[in-house]
């Protein structure tokens, strides 16, 4: 099984050499400890050479992945310098320092990019270790202020993986309870399954103290125990003391020390190296099946994505032509699906888009814009009054002039141009978003995507100009002729009767039809008064009511809409709410709801608020008109106009009311026609035309726009992604082949002996006791079998707590006959083998 470590090294090289960053956790050992705890010295003792940087402060500033491989010759190799063998370990130390400075700088900076070093030597056992920076508390040089937190994050990046064994190095001359290494290991391995304790500097403990309780695993025990080592002192290192001499001195120290001599065979660097080799081998054997499963899943995932890249040749013109045709067909399908709607899994579940948003523009936004442009009622009546008096001139008018009706209606129809043009702009804007969304799949070929977007957008802009001309022409049609014979027009007689009835009753007759239902939040009520929570609102043409929930069983309040207006509420700077708010209020200042001057309602999005506003406009609740007065002359003119209006006679009032009813009736016909014809014109002239263009003419325009080979050039990101996917695929394939070879080659390899044998029966510890027979009781020596009985004697009775004295005194006739014709009913005494 020892070649398992070599196999994992091959896996690491297979991934690293291809530059693949796979989310696979290969089994390894991470060396963790505080500064100057002796981590580097332990690693150098394994190799038997001085090859790690030395100095004061933080020396290890990048993770060092050290692969120890048992070989005939002694040399080192770096993965970032492939093919170069370092036979001098002083050169290896210098290369580690230089490579560290190349990434982190020369002023104590740190980096989590590892350095890979492989050491071949006949004096090492196969091991893979990671030397991590020691924990430091104070930043020096170019180190950031949070250097301690950064080093912890770097260490956790390695030891958090379940496949990583943790070698927690702690000096013996410090309190074990304050060990940084054990604290970090405890956070990620609370059960201690992956942690191996190492106690260094045993020779530097105060006189009269020792670490016997720790090494015997009695103080802060670990499941894998502690191993003590003695490293070279700073004086020995500066004096270039040979590591082999240091190992001999370490052995002599443990044999001569009264507290350690009884367990000297389980201490020291050679024993630590053997234990780590054994533990890592066992760990690899345990984690190999899971690693194989993970690689197979990764392979299946990659196969689907790599299928199109396997036989890809960037210079093949036929492949480029085929790819362009496929992408244009996909664009046609996506555009059609986005506009017309689809039940596929690609449906946007976060917001309205495509055809659904255009539908909302047609039936809610256009209606809202048309109703919003209606002028103030008071202003409209004043204009009608002036028109009637100006038409009569110096004469006294006996009849209501129809020219006043025509003049007012033309002004109202002309106001429709702005909302219908805005509707076209909103639809074109949404179409542009749809085109960008549908061409996103062409991102692999940026020039093709850019040219496709340009061609489609240019065509849509041309159709937009034509559509606006046609829609404005519809408005001009309405201005050209007033069809007062329309079947829905009330006519002069009905308008006059309606005005007289209104004067008598003083009210308007409306059907109490339901306009809208939905959830809103009453924003200006406190939580204790039932506010700041969603209610179910029902809006009718006469009132708005809210209920506890959608069942509409528990009504909270009903608010009449007569005389109410709408206004927007801006959220304050300190407001934590992200909801959009508007308010219902009374222009005369009366209370609207209980003691509140206005009722503030809020929705999640701006679109919801605009939709509710359009519904309120249908119910006759108009937005607040912002009137500004610039100077005193305007105030005087306003007062003058008001005095002129208040001086009108009753006959003029009746004429104004009649014209107002006629205008209202005719404008309902015009707006109804406009709301019906504008979406139809936009659909025919823009949307359907764009679909026909994409399906029929887009490909021809692309061929005519330039060189297709340049247009189908891959982006740098796509080429990099394709190469990365292929590298990952090959690395996975090689890794699975390596693991497959290993599992077959190591099926019959013997398992290494366990670290502890305290789980074995105590009887086997005495070599003088023979192992029990298959039929005997395990762990207790039974009587020696009679040679004449062979293997045919009956099994011994099961052991119990009571003796069986009645067996020897049993009469011979009652006992079963013994095989082989032996006389007597009882066995001979086993302790007298010399009796004949």
The CATH number that applies at residue 557 is 2.30.29.30
Least confident of 160-164, 259-263, 399-403: 399-403
pLDDT at 528: 54
Can you tell me the distance from the alpha carbon of 69 to that of 617, in angstroms, rounded to the nearest whole number? 83
Q: Given a cut of 80, is residue 372 above it in pLDDT?
A: no
Least confident of 61-65, 109-113, 489-493, 550-554: 489-493
The CATH number that applies at residue 99 is 3.40.50.300
Query: Per-residue pLDDT tens for 43-72?
Result: 887 777 777 877 665 677 788 888 888 788
Q: Given a cut of 60, is residue 781 above it in pLDDT?
A: no
pLDDT at 813: 44
Q: Given a cut of 50, is residue 770 above it in pLDDT?
A: no
pLDDT at 773: 37
Q: Which of 227, 257, 278 is the last residue of a domain?
A: 278
pLDDT at 678: 92
Can you tell me the distance from the alpha carbon of 414 to that of 411, in angstroms, rounded to the nearest whole number? 5
834 in any annotated domain: no
Cα-based torsion angle of the residue sequence 713, 714, 719, 722 in order, rounded to the nearest 10 degrees:
-120
Backbone angles phi, psi at 225, to 5 degrees: 75, -175
Query: Per-residue pLDDT tens for 97-113?
Result: 888 888 877 666 778 78
Q: Which of 238, 255, 278 is the last residue of a domain?
A: 278
- Classify strands 598-603 and 555-560 as parallel, antiparallel or unpaired: unpaired
Q: What is the mean pLDDT of residues 298-325?
A: 70
690 in any annotated domain: no
Q: Given a cut of 80, is residue 828 above it in pLDDT?
A: no
Please provide the average confidence, as pLDDT, over all residues in the chain. 74
Can you tell me the distance from the alpha carbon of 205 to that of 211, in angstroms, rounded to the nearest whole number? 9
pLDDT at 424: 93
pLDDT at 550: 84
8 Å CB contact between 78 and 116: yes
How many domains does one find in the chain? 2
- CA dist 91 → 51, 88, 99 (Å): 8, 5, 12
817 in any annotated domain: no
* More confident of the two residues 148 and 790: 148
pLDDT at 510: 44
pLDDT at 467: 93
Query: Rounded to the nearest 10 degrees, what angle do helices 269-306 and 3-17 cross at?
Result: 50
Greatest pairwise CA separation for the chain in angstroms: 165
Nearest alpha-carbon partner for 33 in 140, 186, 230, 183: 183
* More confident of the two residues 240 and 225: 225
Q: Specify which residues 599 forms β-bridges with.
A: 584
Q: Given a cut of 70, is residue 452 above it in pLDDT?
A: yes
* More confident of the two residues 318 and 414: 414
pLDDT at 308: 61
358 in any annotated domain: no
SS (H, E, C) 613-658: HHHHHHCCCEECCCCCCCCHHHHHHHHHHHHHHHCCCHHHHHHHHH
pLDDT at 468: 92
Q: Where are the alpha helices (DSSP H) in 18-63?
A: 39-47
Q: Quick one: DSSP state of residue 345?
A: T
Q: Given a cut of 90, is residue 617 above it in pLDDT?
A: no
Q: Given a cut of 80, is residue 351 above it in pLDDT?
A: no
159 in any annotated domain: yes
Query: Per-residue pLDDT tens for 165-177?
Result: 888 898 888 887 7
pLDDT at 778: 40
Q: Which two tokens stand for residue 771?
A: 């192992």
pLDDT at 654: 72
Can you tell me the distance from the alpha carbon of 372 to that of 567, in angstroms, rounded to the nearest whole number? 12
pLDDT at 397: 60
pLDDT at 782: 44
**Residues, the chain:** 836
> Given CA atoms 747, 753, 758, 761 in this order, what sign does their dihedral have?
positive
Q: What is the mean pLDDT of residues 604-625?
A: 80
448 pLDDT band (50/70/90 cuts)? Answer: confident
- CA dist 117 → 33, 128, 705 (Å): 20, 10, 55
> Given CA atoms 673, 676, 679, 684 in this order, what sign does their dihedral have?
negative
Q: Given a cut of 80, is residue 86 above it in pLDDT?
A: yes
Q: Which two tokens stand for residue 655?
A: 């004429």
307 pLDDT band (50/70/90 cuts)? Answer: low
Give the contacts of 115 (CB within 8 A, at least 6 positions apart): 62, 63, 64, 65, 78, 80, 96, 99, 100
682 pLDDT band (50/70/90 cuts)? Answer: very high
pLDDT at 110: 77
Give the contacts of 220 (CB within 8 A, at least 6 positions apart): 176, 177, 182, 214
Range of the domain at 563: 511-619
Q: Given a cut of 90, is residue 349 above it in pLDDT?
A: no
pLDDT at 12: 66
130 in any annotated domain: yes
Q: Which two tokens stand for residue 73?
A: 């010759």
Can you tell me the distance from the alpha carbon of 728 to that of 17, in angstroms, rounded to the nearest whole number? 11
8 Å CB contact between 553 and 570: no
459 pLDDT band (50/70/90 cuts)? Answer: very high
Please report which helix (H) or strand (E) contains residue 523, including its range.
none
Can you tell me the distance from the alpha carbon of 678 to that of 405, in angstroms, rounded to the nearest whole number? 25
Q: Which of 619, 641, 660 is the last residue of a domain?
A: 619
Can you tell me the distance from the alpha carbon of 805 to that of 815, in angstroms, rounded to the nearest whole number? 15
Query: Per-residue pLDDT tens for 265-281?
Result: 889 888 888 888 887 77
pLDDT at 73: 86
Other CB atoms within 10 A of residue 480 CB: 8
Q: Rank 7-11, 161-165, 613-617 by mean pLDDT and report only the highest.
A: 161-165
pLDDT at 793: 46
Q: Given a cut of 60, is residue 833 above it in pLDDT?
A: no
Q: Specify which residues 129 forms β-bridges with.
A: 29, 66
542 in any annotated domain: yes
245 in any annotated domain: yes
pLDDT at 776: 40
Q: What is the mean pLDDT of residues 519-548?
A: 79
Can you tell me the distance from the alpha carbon of 669 to that of 672, in angstroms, rounded to the nearest whole number? 5
Determine the distance from the C-alpha atom of residue 562 to the mean position of all C-alpha atoms in its chain, rounded to a whole number: 51
Q: Given a cut of 70, is residue 769 above it in pLDDT?
A: no
Backbone angles phi, psi at 15, to 5 degrees: -80, -45
End-to-end Cα distance, the chain: 54
């Amino acid at each position: 099984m020892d070649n398992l470590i070599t196999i994992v090294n091959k896996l690491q090289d297979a991934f690293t050499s291809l530059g693949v960053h796979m989310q696979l956790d290969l089994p390894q050992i991470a060396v963790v400890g505080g500064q100057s705890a002796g981590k580097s010295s332990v690693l150098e003792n394994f190799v038997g050479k001085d090859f790690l940087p030395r100095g004061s402060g933080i020396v290890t500033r990048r993770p060092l992945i050290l692969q120890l491989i048992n070989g005939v010759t002694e040399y080192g190799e770096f993965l970032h310098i492939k093919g170069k063998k370092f036979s001098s370990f002083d050169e290896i130390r210098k290369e580690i320092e230089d490579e560290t400075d190349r990434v982190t700088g020369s002023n104590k900076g740190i980096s989590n990019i590892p350095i890979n070093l492989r050491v071949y030597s006949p004096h090492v056992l196969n091991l893979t270790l990671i030397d991590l920076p020691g924990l430091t508390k104070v930043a020096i040089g170019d180190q950031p202020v949070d250097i301690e937190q950064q080093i912890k994050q770097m260490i956790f990046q390695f030891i958090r993986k379940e496949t990583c064994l943790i070698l927690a190095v702690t000096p013996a001359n410090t309190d074990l309870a304050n060990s940084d290494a054990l604290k970090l290991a405890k956070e990620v391995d609370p059960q201690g399954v992956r942690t191996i304790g190492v106690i260094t500097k045993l020779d530097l403990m105060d006189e009269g103290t020792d670490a016997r309780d720790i090494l015997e695993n009695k103080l802060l025990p670990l499941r894998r125990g502690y191993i003590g080592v003695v490293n070279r002192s700073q004086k020995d290192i500066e004096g270039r003391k040979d590591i082999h001499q240091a190992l001999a001195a370490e052995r002599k120290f443990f044999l001569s020390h009264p507290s350690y001599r009884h367990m000297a065979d389980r201490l020291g660097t050679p024993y630590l190296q053997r234990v780590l080799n054994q533990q890592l081998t066992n760990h690899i054997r345990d984690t190999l099946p899971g690693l194989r499963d993970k690689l197979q899943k990764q392979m299946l995932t990659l196969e689907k994505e790599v299928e199109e890249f396997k036989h890809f040749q960037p210079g093949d013109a036929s492949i480029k032509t085929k790819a362009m045709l496929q992408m244009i067909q996909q664009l046609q399908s996506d555009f059609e699906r986005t506009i017309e709607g689809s039940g596929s899994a690609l449906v946007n579940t976060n917001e309205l888009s495509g055809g659904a948003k255009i539908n909302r523009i047609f039936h809610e936004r256009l209606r809202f814009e048309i109703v919003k442009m209606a002028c103030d009622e008071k202003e409209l009546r004043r204009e009608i009054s002036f028109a009637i008096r100006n038409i009569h001139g110096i004469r006294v008018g006996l009849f209501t002039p129809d020219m006043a009706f025509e003049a007012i209606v033309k002004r109202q129809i002309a106001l429709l141009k702005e909302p219908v043009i805005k509707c076209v702009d909103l639809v074109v804007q949404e179409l542009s978003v749809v085109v960008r969304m549908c061409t996103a799949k062409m991102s692999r070929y940026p020039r093709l995507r850019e040219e496709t977007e340009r061609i489609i957008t240019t065509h849509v802009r041309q159709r937009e100009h034509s559509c606006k001309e046609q829609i404005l022409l519809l408005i001009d049609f309405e201005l050209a002729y007033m069809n007062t014979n329309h079947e829905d027009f009330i006519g002069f007689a009905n308008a006059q009767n309606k005005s007289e009835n209104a004067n008598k009753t003083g009210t308007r007759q409306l059907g109490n039809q339901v306009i809208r239902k939905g959830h809103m939040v009453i924003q200006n009520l406190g939580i204790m008064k039932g506010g700041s929570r969603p209610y179910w609102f029902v809006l009718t043409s006469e009132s708005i009511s809210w209920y506890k929930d959608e069942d509409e069983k528990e009504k909270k309040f009903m608010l009449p809409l007569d005389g109410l207006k709408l206004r927007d509420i801006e959220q304050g700077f300190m407001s934590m709410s992200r909801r959009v708010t508007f308010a219902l209020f009374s222009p005369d200042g009366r209370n609207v709801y209980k003691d509140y001057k206005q009722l503030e309602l809020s929705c999640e999005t701006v679109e919801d608020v605009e939709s509710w506003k359009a519904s309120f406009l249908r119910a006759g609740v108009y937005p607040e008109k912002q009137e500004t007065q610039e100077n005193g002359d305007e105030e005087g003119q306003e007062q003058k106009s008001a005095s002129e209006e208040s001086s009108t006679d009753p006959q003029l009032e009746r004429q104004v009311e009649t014209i107002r009813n006629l205008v209202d009736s005719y404008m309902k016909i015009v707006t109804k026609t406009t709301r019906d014809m504008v979406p139809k014109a936009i659909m025919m002239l823009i949307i359907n035309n764009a679909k026909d263009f994409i399906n029929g003419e887009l490909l021809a325009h692309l061929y005519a726009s330039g060189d297709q080979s340049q247009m189908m050039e891959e982006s740098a990101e796509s080429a990099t992604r394709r190469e990365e996917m292929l590298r990952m695929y090959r690395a996975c394939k090689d890794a699975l082949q390596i693991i497959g070879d290993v599992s077959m080659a190591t099926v019959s390899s013997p398992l290494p002996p366990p670290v502890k044998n305290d789980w074995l029966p105590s009887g086997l510890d005495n070599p003088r006791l023979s192992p029990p027979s298959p039929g005997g009781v395990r762990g207790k020596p039974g009587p020696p079998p009679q040679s004449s009985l062979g293997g045919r004697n009956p099994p011994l009775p099961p052991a119990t707590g009571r003796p069986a004295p009645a067996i020897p005194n049993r009469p011979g006739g009652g006992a079963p006959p013994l095989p082989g014709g032996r006389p007597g009913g009882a066995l001979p005494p086993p302790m007298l083998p010399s009796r004949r």
